[in-house]
Amino acid sequence: MTTPIDIKITETNLDDIAMAEGRIVILLGKNGQLDLGARRINRLTKGAVKRFSESETAAEMKLATSRDLAFPVGLAATAVQIVRLDRNASVYEARRAGAAIGSAAGDGPVTVLAGALRRPEELALGMALRAYDYADMRSPKDAKKKAKLAMTLMVTDSKAAKAAAADVSARAAGVFFARDLVSAPANVLTTTSFADRLVELKSHGLKVEVLDEPALEKLGMASLLAVGMGSEAPSKVVVMQHLGGKKGVAPLALVGKGVVFDTGGISMKPAGGMEDMTMDMGGAGTVAGTMKTLAMRKAKANVIGIVGLVENMPDGRAQRPGDIVKSMKGDTIEVINTDAEGRLVLCDVMWYVQDKFKPDAMVDLATLTGAVIVALGHENTGVFSNDDKFCNDLLKSAKSEGEGAWRLPLAPAYDKLLKSDKADMKNVGGRAAGSITAAQFLQRFVKDDTPWCHLDIAGTAQTKSATKYAPRGATGWGVLTLDRLVRDRYEPQD
């Protein structure tokens, strides 16, 4: 698994900076001001930094962007990275600036002269997130390159910065865990190995239980089990409990779709792009990453993370279009399209977690529909909810963490699209409003007294190009948002 880089926070010490190897990072204020560290680098480079700060290129730089001075005279460093960032930068600006540093870091040492920056912990988090590199499947020679990367953050008050950055490693570790899970190929991340990786979270203090197929049959999860009938991989449900809050306080439930590979089943997907369906467990990955973060930082809240792990394959035993399955709730579902399998997994898991744990609220996450990508592209997750207050809390958390999210409607009028002549409902409603009808389907498995948000992360779990805080590929979208939701809504406020 990928471990976040260790960012060492120290008091500013410029005595030996001329001999520092690798990259040196300095900050340029929005009006061209040079702080103490930048002024020292300017002297050592015989005025190169000052000349750059007065150039048109510097004047055109936006906040949190950077430029390099390569192989600077007077320094052992291979480059000086000049980052446009004001001392009183916002959380968003500091984190974006950190991402610029992490993106350019390469595989050698990096020394960041942050001085009296107001939010050095956000700079550190951005650095850590953007320096991610999935190397689990590379040869040992290639995988070792990133191991040389070391970052030192020099600040005026290291004691205060270390205290503020105490949770950075836990947050980055959760995001990295989610990214690693999404990045892993399906022949490596099977339903069994996925469950095994979640069991390993016991070492962080989580209580973890794995429900196998006989247990799921006993519970009546026929909808979930039908999805995996065509696969050699056994279907599983994994329950993770973080009980850091007061005893007896109702938990927040996080539910994740964990389809480790999705061929579409008998309703087979086109060959082009099918390799990307290793990411169809992105919802489960985000839930797992969030639970790891909560456990590592010892969050003072009660949270249940539950994921349904299946593989959707075509086989002589696979479910067919036209089959009718019965959910744990007792409702019957006519399967019109076997490629609309995620909702068949989620509906049983959602009912189970409400029935057993009686949560205060519930969030489900799933790479559920291509329709949400048509609507929102790759910038925003689609959000659906039955409770305005809970939804607004979640949207606020997403905005605070810089993760795009946009609320889409639910309405009874869409239910007619799911009407079946043979069963209680169909699993799809046609091309029109595809992401909405999927959410309407799931809402039927939400109890009346449960505040609920459904997050369709099909467009944000994995991208073809780099995002603000991640290289191309898995993003870990949602770990920071859900961690923030727990902090602000469920943990005691000091």
430's tokens: 């046609």
426 is catalytic: no
472 is catalytic: no
Q: Which helix (H) or strand (E) holds 252?
A: strand 252-262
Catalytic residue among 67, 87, 269, 399: 269
Catalytic residue among 130, 292, 343, 489: 343
CA distances from 486 to 185, 297, 489 (A): 31, 12, 5
Cα 183 to its chain centre, rounded Å, is 12
Q: For residues 199 and 208, is the Cβ–Cβ distance under 8 A?
A: yes
- Give the span between the Cα atoms of 32 and 433, in whole angstroms: 50
Q: For residues 368 and 438, is the Cβ–Cβ distance under 8 A?
A: yes
Which residue has 């249940």 as its token pair?
A: 304
Of 155, 187, 196, 140, whose CA–CA distance to 36 is shortest?
155
Of 390, 437, 430, 432, whose CA–CA distance to 409 is shortest?
437
Of 450, 452, 449, whose CA–CA distance to 439 is shortest?
452
- Give the span between the Cα atoms of 184 and 277, in whole angstroms: 11
Residues 6+ apart with CB under 8 A from 451: 360, 361, 362, 385, 386, 387, 389, 390
Determine how many CB atoms are found less than 10 A away from the CB of residue 348.
Answer: 27
Of 417, 426, 306, whose CA–CA distance to 356 is shortest?
306
248's tokens: 């007896």
SS3 487: helix
**Adjacent-strand bridge partners of 333:** 325, 425
Count Cβ atoms within 10 A of the Cβ of residue 157 and give its class: 0-12 exposed, 13-18 middle, 19 or more buried.
middle
Pairing of strands 452-456, 381-385: antiparallel
Residues annotated catalytic, as ranges: 269, 343
